[in-house]
Amino acid sequence: MQNSTKPELTPAYFSGLVQSDGGFHIAIDRSKSNKLGIRVTPKLILSQHISAKSFFKDLMNYLGVGHLITSKNEVQIVVNSLPQIKQRILPLLDLYPVRSGKLISYLKFKQVVEMMELKKHLTAEGLAQIIEISYDMNLVSQRKVERKLSLLKSIGFELGVSVQNPILPTLPPIDPHFVSGITDGDGSFFISFKANRRIVASFTVIKESSCKEVLTELSEYFNCGAVYDLPSAASRFQVENLEKLINHVIPHFVEYPLHTVKKEYFEIFSQVCHLLKERVHKTDEGLQQIIDLAYNMNKDGKGRRLTKEEFIQKMKAQTST
C-alpha cells in the first residue's frame, strides 16, 4: 500500500533530476531591443513525460521559480528569468552540483549568467564571449557553426574571441537524494521473462557517454552492478543479481523515495524481487501472481510482444527447472 504522504523534495534530488532531465541553454536571438541587435536569454529546462505533470507542479512550487509548459506527451519546467536563475537555481546547484559532462555545461551556463549580471552582454566583446561559450557549452549540440560565425561577424568579431574555461571543482561524494533524482529521470525497473520460467529483475540507469563517470559513481554507491558501453554513444549501469537488488538497491529507494510514476514501478519491482527470492514462480499460482504484478508495470505493457494472457499460457506450458 502506498504511503499517502508525499516524500520531501531536496536540493540534492533536484540536482539528480537535472543531471538526467535538465538542460542548460543560452538562447541567442536577433533583436532590435538593443544596439548590438542580439538578445541573450539563459534557460534551465527540465523535461519529463506528461505523466509527471502533477509532480512538476509540486517541483515548481518547491523551487519557487519558473513556469510550466505542456504538450501532448511532455511537460517542462522552464526558468528563463536572470534574477530567478541567479538567486534560486545557481545556489542549489552550487551546493549540490551536477556531475561529469553535465557539470561542464553548468559551469559555462553559470559563467554566462554572471557575465550578464555584470552587463557584459551589452558590450560587443562580452557578447562575443557569451556567443562562444553558448555554442561550446553542450557536448551534444545541434547548433550550426555557420550561425555562430554570422552572429560574431555582425558585432565585429569575425575571427572569434578567446574565452577562459571555468575550473572544475572537487565534488563531494554522491548524495543519496541525488541518486533518487537521477533514477526518476534515467532509471528503470524491469522484470523480464525468460525460457523455462526464468524471471530476471533488473535495475538500470542509462546516460550519454559524456556522463559515464556518474554511472561508475552509482556502482560504487550501491556497491554492486556494472557499467557497460552501448552502441548508441551511451552507457548503462545495471544490477541483475537478485541478492544485491534486495540488499543494496531496494533499501535505498525505501529510505529515499522516488517522486514520479517510477515510485509505483519500484514498489511493484520490490514486491516481485521478494517473491522471486521465495521462488514462488515455480508454481503456477506464484507465476500467475508475478505476471499479474509485473507484466504491465512499464508503459502499460507496451513493448511486450504477447498479451498478458498469451504470455501466461506460454509460461505455464514450459517445464520449470
Q: Are residues 25 and 121 in the same domain?
A: yes
Distances (CA, A) of 222 to 142, 260, 315: 35, 21, 33
Say if residue 183 is in the same domain as residue 133: no
pLDDT at 236: 97
Same domain for 212 and 265?
yes
The whole-angstrom separation of Cα 53 and Cα 68 is: 9
pLDDT(317) > 90: no
Same domain, 150 and 180: no
Which of 106, 124, 154 lies at the terminal end of a domain, its last residue? 154
Same domain, 95 and 186: no
Overall number of domains in the chain: 2
pLDDT for 33 equals 81
In a domain, 96, yes or no: yes
Report residue 4's pLDDT band, with 50, 70 and 90 as the boundaries: very low
142 has pLDDT over 60: yes
Look at residue 316 and tell me whether its pLDDT is greater than 80.
no
Residue 68 forms part of a structural domain: yes
Specify if 264 maps to a domain.
yes
pLDDT value, residue 2: 41
Does pLDDT of 258 surpass 60?
yes
Which residues form the domain of 134? 11-154
Residue 107 lies in a domain: yes
Claim to verify: residue 140 and residue 266 sit in the same structural domain: no
Residue 192 lies inside a defined structural domain of this protein: yes
Is residue 3, in this structure, part of any structural domain at all?
A: no
The pLDDT assigned to 202 comes to 97
Do 150 and 181 share a domain, yes or no? no
pLDDT at 283: 87
pTM above 0.75, yes or no: yes
Position 305 confidence tier, pLDDT thresholds 50, 70, 90 = low
- The enclosing domain of 27 has a CATH number of 3.10.28.10
Residue 115 lies inside a defined structural domain of this protein: yes
Nearest to 144, CA basis, from 28, 232, 46? 28
Contact by Cβ (8 Å): 134, 28: yes
Residue 319: what pLDDT?
Answer: 54
Interval 35-60 mean pLDDT = 95
pLDDT band for position 143 (50/70/90)?
confident
